[in-house]
Amino acid sequence: MNVEDLIEQQITTHPVVLYMKGTLDQPQCGFSANAVNILKACGVDSIFSVDVLADPGIRQGIKDFSNWPTIPQLYVNGEFIGGSDIVTEMYQSGELQKLFEN
């Protein structure tokens, strides 16, 4: 399976996917930590995270896949939401929380 197919499988199989530096328990950059904290503040319990530092192919592949140059990257229900700044803005406006309402 190539990197693009793997990413496609990850974002379609899991409702919330965060491509980040580090892990949910130990983010390796402030932007990734911010994204994790915001998702937790939204009450998201099940986050599928991918540590891009552990796989250079995924690290570059996700940037190519989304046409977005930075990490972290958040996908909800297969849709690219954005990076740390966009996630923060959406959280502050209440828009992000609406994505997780049932």
Long-range contacts, stretch 3-6, CB < 8 angstroms, 24+ apart: 3/57, 3/58, 3/61, 3/65, 4/61, 4/64, 4/65, 6/58, 6/61
β-strand pairing of 48-51 with 16-20: parallel
Query: Which amino acids are annotated as binding site, given as ranges?
Result: 29
β-strand pairing of 48-51 with 73-76: unpaired
Residue 78: how many CB atoms within 10 A of its CB? 13
Query: Which amino acids are annotated as binding site for [2Fe-2S] cluster, given as ranges?
Result: 29
